[in-house]
Structure 1
Amino acid sequence: MVRLNVFLLLAVVFCGLGAVTSQHKARKLFQALEVELERARQLEVEFGQLQLELSTWGSAPRIEKIAREKLKMRSPESEKIIPGTATGARTP
Protein backbone atom coordinates (compact mmCIF):
# COMPACT_ATOMS: atom_id res chain seq x y z
CA MET A 1 0.00 0.00 0.00
CA VAL A 2 2.86 2.36 0.82
CA ARG A 3 4.41 1.72 -2.60
CA LEU A 4 1.13 2.55 -4.30
CA ASN A 5 0.87 5.81 -2.33
CA VAL A 6 4.46 6.75 -3.23
CA PHE A 7 3.83 5.90 -6.86
CA LEU A 8 0.65 7.98 -6.93
CA LEU A 9 2.43 10.88 -5.19
CA LEU A 10 5.22 10.82 -7.77
CA ALA A 11 2.66 10.66 -10.58
CA VAL A 12 0.85 13.71 -9.19
CA VAL A 13 4.13 15.64 -8.81
CA PHE A 14 5.21 14.81 -12.37
CA CYS A 15 1.78 15.75 -13.76
CA GLY A 16 1.94 19.05 -11.86
CA LEU A 17 5.42 19.78 -13.18
CA GLY A 18 4.23 18.93 -16.69
CA ALA A 19 1.28 21.31 -16.37
CA VAL A 20 3.48 24.13 -15.10
CA THR A 21 6.04 23.55 -17.86
CA SER A 22 3.43 23.47 -20.61
CA GLN A 23 1.74 26.62 -19.27
CA HIS A 24 5.12 28.40 -19.17
CA LYS A 25 5.81 27.38 -22.79
CA ALA A 26 2.34 28.55 -23.82
CA ARG A 27 2.95 31.96 -22.23
CA LYS A 28 6.33 32.28 -23.96
CA LEU A 29 4.76 31.40 -27.31
CA PHE A 30 1.93 33.88 -26.75
CA GLN A 31 4.46 36.56 -25.92
CA ALA A 32 6.38 35.79 -29.13
CA LEU A 33 3.13 35.89 -31.08
CA GLU A 34 2.32 39.35 -29.71
CA VAL A 35 5.77 40.61 -30.70
CA GLU A 36 5.33 39.28 -34.24
CA LEU A 37 1.84 40.75 -34.55
CA GLU A 38 3.18 44.16 -33.52
CA ARG A 39 5.95 43.82 -36.10
CA ALA A 40 3.35 42.93 -38.73
CA ARG A 41 1.37 46.06 -37.83
CA GLN A 42 4.50 48.18 -38.14
CA LEU A 43 5.25 46.65 -41.54
CA GLU A 44 1.70 47.37 -42.73
CA VAL A 45 2.08 51.02 -41.72
CA GLU A 46 5.45 51.23 -43.44
CA PHE A 47 4.01 49.60 -46.58
CA GLY A 48 1.22 52.18 -46.66
CA GLN A 49 3.74 55.00 -46.30
CA LEU A 50 5.85 53.56 -49.11
CA GLN A 51 2.82 53.27 -51.38
CA LEU A 52 1.97 56.90 -50.69
CA GLU A 53 5.56 57.92 -51.37
CA LEU A 54 5.57 55.92 -54.61
CA SER A 55 2.41 57.62 -55.82
CA THR A 56 3.93 60.99 -54.98
CA TRP A 57 7.16 60.27 -56.85
CA GLY A 58 5.24 59.17 -59.93
CA SER A 59 2.74 62.03 -60.05
CA ALA A 60 2.38 63.88 -63.34
CA PRO A 61 3.23 67.38 -62.01
CA ARG A 62 6.45 66.10 -60.44
CA ILE A 63 7.50 64.31 -63.64
CA GLU A 64 6.72 67.41 -65.68
CA LYS A 65 8.76 69.59 -63.30
CA ILE A 66 11.77 67.26 -63.56
CA ALA A 67 11.43 67.13 -67.35
CA ARG A 68 11.45 70.92 -67.55
CA GLU A 69 14.18 71.62 -64.98
CA LYS A 70 16.66 68.77 -65.25
CA LEU A 71 16.14 67.51 -68.79
CA LYS A 72 15.38 70.95 -70.28
CA MET A 73 12.35 69.56 -72.09
CA ARG A 74 9.50 71.76 -73.27
CA SER A 75 6.12 71.36 -74.88
CA PRO A 76 6.16 71.44 -78.70
CA GLU A 77 4.85 74.49 -80.52
CA SER A 78 1.24 74.19 -81.63
CA GLU A 79 2.14 74.32 -85.36
CA LYS A 80 4.37 71.24 -84.95
CA ILE A 81 1.60 69.12 -83.44
CA ILE A 82 -0.16 66.90 -85.99
CA PRO A 83 -3.70 66.10 -84.90
CA GLY A 84 -4.96 62.52 -85.13
CA THR A 85 -1.70 60.69 -84.47
CA ALA A 86 -0.61 59.28 -81.15
CA THR A 87 3.15 59.69 -81.71
CA GLY A 88 3.14 62.88 -83.74
CA ALA A 89 4.68 61.11 -86.75
CA ARG A 90 3.39 61.97 -90.20
CA THR A 91 1.48 59.33 -92.11
CA PRO A 92 1.97 59.16 -95.90
Structure 2
Amino acid sequence: MGRLSFLLAVALMVSAMALVTSQYQARRLFVQMERGKNEARELDVQWRQLQLDQTANAKHSLIDEVSRNQLKMEAVTPGHTVYLARPREANGAPIVSGAPLAGAVQ
Protein backbone atom coordinates (compact mmCIF):
# COMPACT_ATOMS: atom_id res chain seq x y z
CA MET A 1 0.00 0.00 0.00
CA GLY A 2 2.94 2.31 0.71
CA ARG A 3 4.37 1.87 -2.77
CA LEU A 4 1.03 2.56 -4.40
CA SER A 5 0.62 5.75 -2.36
CA PHE A 6 4.14 6.84 -3.35
CA LEU A 7 3.48 6.16 -7.06
CA LEU A 8 0.18 8.02 -6.90
CA ALA A 9 1.88 10.97 -5.19
CA VAL A 10 4.59 11.05 -7.87
CA ALA A 11 1.95 10.82 -10.63
CA LEU A 12 0.02 13.65 -8.96
CA MET A 13 3.16 15.82 -8.80
CA VAL A 14 4.02 15.12 -12.46
CA SER A 15 0.49 15.92 -13.60
CA ALA A 16 0.47 19.12 -11.49
CA MET A 17 3.77 20.22 -13.07
CA ALA A 18 2.40 19.41 -16.55
CA LEU A 19 -0.71 21.46 -15.81
CA VAL A 20 1.33 24.45 -14.62
CA THR A 21 3.61 24.23 -17.67
CA SER A 22 0.71 24.01 -20.11
CA GLN A 23 -1.06 26.96 -18.49
CA TYR A 24 2.16 29.01 -18.67
CA GLN A 25 2.58 28.17 -22.35
CA ALA A 26 -1.08 29.01 -23.03
CA ARG A 27 -0.69 32.41 -21.37
CA ARG A 28 2.55 33.10 -23.25
CA LEU A 29 0.94 32.17 -26.58
CA PHE A 30 -2.11 34.29 -25.79
CA VAL A 31 0.12 37.30 -25.11
CA GLN A 32 1.97 36.72 -28.38
CA MET A 33 -1.34 36.46 -30.22
CA GLU A 34 -2.57 39.73 -28.73
CA ARG A 35 0.68 41.47 -29.66
CA GLY A 36 0.30 40.15 -33.20
CA LYS A 37 -3.28 41.42 -33.39
CA ASN A 38 -2.20 44.85 -32.13
CA GLU A 39 0.60 44.99 -34.69
CA ALA A 40 -1.83 43.96 -37.43
CA ARG A 41 -4.19 46.77 -36.39
CA GLU A 42 -1.33 49.29 -36.42
CA LEU A 43 -0.21 48.12 -39.85
CA ASP A 44 -3.78 48.38 -41.13
CA VAL A 45 -4.01 51.96 -39.87
CA GLN A 46 -0.67 52.79 -41.53
CA TRP A 47 -1.84 51.17 -44.79
CA ARG A 48 -5.02 53.23 -44.80
CA GLN A 49 -3.01 56.39 -44.09
CA LEU A 50 -0.67 55.58 -46.98
CA GLN A 51 -3.65 55.06 -49.28
CA LEU A 52 -5.06 58.44 -48.25
CA ASP A 53 -1.67 60.09 -48.81
CA GLN A 54 -1.37 58.46 -52.21
CA THR A 55 -4.83 59.67 -53.20
CA ALA A 56 -4.04 63.19 -52.04
CA ASN A 57 -0.67 63.24 -53.81
CA ALA A 58 -2.16 61.94 -57.05
CA LYS A 59 -4.55 64.89 -57.46
CA HIS A 60 -3.87 66.78 -60.67
CA SER A 61 -3.98 70.17 -58.97
CA LEU A 62 -1.27 69.15 -56.49
CA ILE A 63 0.90 67.70 -59.24
CA ASP A 64 0.46 70.88 -61.30
CA GLU A 65 1.29 73.10 -58.30
CA VAL A 66 4.43 71.14 -57.40
CA SER A 67 5.63 71.04 -61.00
CA ARG A 68 5.15 74.79 -61.46
CA ASN A 69 6.37 76.05 -58.05
CA GLN A 70 9.02 73.61 -56.85
CA LEU A 71 10.33 72.22 -60.14
CA LYS A 72 9.86 75.49 -62.09
CA MET A 73 8.30 73.65 -65.03
CA GLU A 74 6.27 75.42 -67.70
CA ALA A 75 3.58 74.25 -70.07
CA VAL A 76 4.78 73.23 -73.53
CA THR A 77 4.25 75.90 -76.14
CA PRO A 78 5.19 75.92 -79.83
CA GLY A 79 7.80 78.57 -79.04
CA HIS A 80 9.60 76.25 -76.62
CA THR A 81 9.43 73.17 -78.85
CA VAL A 82 12.51 72.04 -80.76
CA TYR A 83 11.80 70.13 -83.96
CA LEU A 84 14.46 67.83 -85.37
CA ALA A 85 14.64 66.99 -89.05
CA ARG A 86 16.28 63.97 -90.61
CA PRO A 87 19.17 64.59 -92.95
CA ARG A 88 18.15 64.22 -96.57
CA GLU A 89 19.90 62.83 -99.60
CA ALA A 90 20.48 64.87 -102.72
CA ASN A 91 17.19 63.65 -104.23
CA GLY A 92 15.22 64.84 -101.18
CA ALA A 93 14.49 61.40 -99.69
CA PRO A 94 15.34 60.98 -95.98
CA ILE A 95 18.44 58.95 -95.17
CA VAL A 96 17.34 55.70 -93.51
CA SER A 97 20.05 54.14 -91.36
CA GLY A 98 19.03 52.25 -88.26
CA ALA A 99 16.45 53.48 -85.76
CA PRO A 100 14.56 56.73 -86.31
CA LEU A 101 15.59 59.81 -84.36
CA ALA A 102 13.57 60.49 -81.21
CA GLY A 103 11.18 63.38 -81.73
CA ALA A 104 12.00 63.64 -85.42
CA VAL A 105 9.50 65.24 -87.77
CA GLN A 106 9.24 63.83 -91.28
- The residue type equivalent to 2:7 in the other structure is F
Structure 1 runs of 4+ off > 4 angstroms? none
- Which structure 2 residues correspond to residues 60-71 of structure 1 after superposition, within 5 A? 60-70=60-70, 71=72
Q: Determine helix, strand or coil for the equivalent of 1:40.
A: helix
- Which structure 2 residues correspond to residues 49-88 of structure 1 after superposition, within 5 A? 49-70=49-70, 71-74=72-75, 76=77
- Cα deviation 1:2-60 (Å, max 9, x = unaligned): 10110011101110110111011100110111011101100100111011111111111
Give the gaps of 5 or more residues in structure 2.
79-105
CA displacement at 1:67 relative to structure 2: 2.6
Larger fraction in helix: 1
Q: Which has the larger radius of gyration?
A: 2
Count of equivalent residues = 80
Give the gaps of 5 or more residues in structure 1.
78-91
Aligned to 1:34: 34
CA displacement at 1:76 relative to structure 2: 4.9
Deviates more, 1:66-75 or 1:40-49: 66-75
| 1:48 equivalent in alignment to 2:34 | no
> Over aligned residues, Cα RMSD in angstroms?
1.8
Higher relative contact order, chain-length normalized (CA < 8 Å, sep 6+): 2
Query: 2 CA distance for matches of 1:72 and 1:22?
Result: 67
Q: TM-score, normalised by structure 1?
A: 0.74
